[in-house]
Structure 1
Amino acid sequence: TFLSSLFPACSFFFLLFEMPGRILRQIKERVRDVQLQKAKQQLLLLSRAATGRQPFHRVKEGRIQQQLDHFNRRAVGTFPQRFFVNEAFWQSPDGPVFLFIGGEGPIFEFDVLAGHHVDMAEEHGALLLALEHRFYGDSINPDGLKAENLADLSSQQA
């Protein structure tokens, strides 16, 4: 029959496109992990040489209970949204605040320890904050990623 003749093609299609996609995602995640570890090691070595201190002691991780639906006053659902704070350069209380908003993936303490925005924060005496995007990394609603909750994953809600 027609369907049985398509089945091998569908299986081939799955193997050709779906499996490499998963494998590429896993490779990408592993490469990102290795890059982060190398960057942390380099940052630690540079910081210890310059100051004798470890920069990671300055980074604080936290979570705020964020509303799932900002536009429905009756909706009471929340999720824990993760953030990192680096006060190393902040000229408290009047210094500027630099907000790093995470994209479609997790944030890391490294996001407030290195990069152009960190160099600018040091230059301007700014507080550094990194906020994880909703539904990514550890900032996932309590019900997980059920289809009926994906309406809360929108640019308007973000």
Structure 2
Amino acid sequence: MNFSASRCLILLLLLNFVDSGQILRRIKRRARDIQIQKNKQLLLTLTVSGHQPLQHVKEGRILQPLDHFNRQNVNTFPQRFLVNEAYWRDPDGPVFLFIGGEGPLFEYDVLAGHHSDMAEEHGALLLALEHRFYGDISRLTLEYFG
């Protein structure tokens, strides 16, 4: 079989594209794992030093439309959210929204990280919203709708 240089280049580019997707997923997963471990360590350090950071975190659920584009469909799902009021200058402080990615939200997602540092600096309410298909909500959605 005769492979021209252009066919070899196309094959290499295709293999690179497929492999790069897997590599990017691994990098993203590893970065999230590192962030989780760092935040767990910070939470543990705060707890050991006498602070009670979790007292500022509240969890809730809000019923969201299952289909935003079909007004005839009145089905809803319980979307999970976390709130940290520790830094909020009530009632005029800003609200920072942290939207979760491809995984569950944890309490330390609203206690540590750049967004938490900014909330402290600006006196903001920190609100984290979990993605409907990932984390705890995906399990609840399956139970809710069978």
TM score, norm. by length of structure 1: 0.63
How many Å apart are 1:38 and its aligned residue? 6.1
| 1:108 Cα offset (Å) | 1.0
Q: Does 1:45 align with 2:45?
A: yes
Match of 1:66 among 64, 67, 73: 64
Greater mean deviation of Cα atoms: 134-143 or 91-100: 134-143
Residue deviations 1:53-101 (CA, integer Å, cap 9, x gap): 3101110111111110111111111111111000000000010000000
Residue 143 of structure 1, CA deviation: 2.8
CA RMSD, Structure 1 to Structure 2 (Å): 2.6
Structure 1 unmatched runs, 5+: 1-20, 145-158
Residues 43 and 108 of structure 2 are in contact (CA less than 8 Å); yes or no, is this contact kept in structure 1?
A: no
Q: Percent identity?
A: 70
* Cα distance change on mapping 1:47 and 1:95 into 2, 3 Å: farther
**SS of equivalent residue, structure 1 residue 83:** strand
Residue 47 of structure 1: CA displacement?
5.6
Shift of 1:42: 3.1
1:20-79 C-alpha deviation (Å, 9 max, x unpaired): x9xxx9xx69x94x9746633432323653xx3310111011111111011111111111
Change in CA separation of 1:47 and 1:126 when aligned onto 2, cut-off 3 Å: farther
User: In the alignment, what sits opposite 2:99?
Assistant: 101
| Structure 2 counterparts to residues 70-85 of structure 1, below 5 A | 70-85=68-83
Count of aligned positions: 116
Q: Report the TM-score when normalising by structure 2.
A: 0.68
Unaligned runs of 5+ in 2: 1-21
Instruction: Identify the residue that residue 120 of structure 2 maps to in structure 1.
Output: 122
| Matched position secondary structure for 1:139 | helix
Paired with 1:46 and 1:105, the residues of 2 have a C-alpha distance of 24
Q: Are 1:56 and 2:58 an aligned pair?
A: no
Contact 1:98 1:129 in 2 (8 A): yes
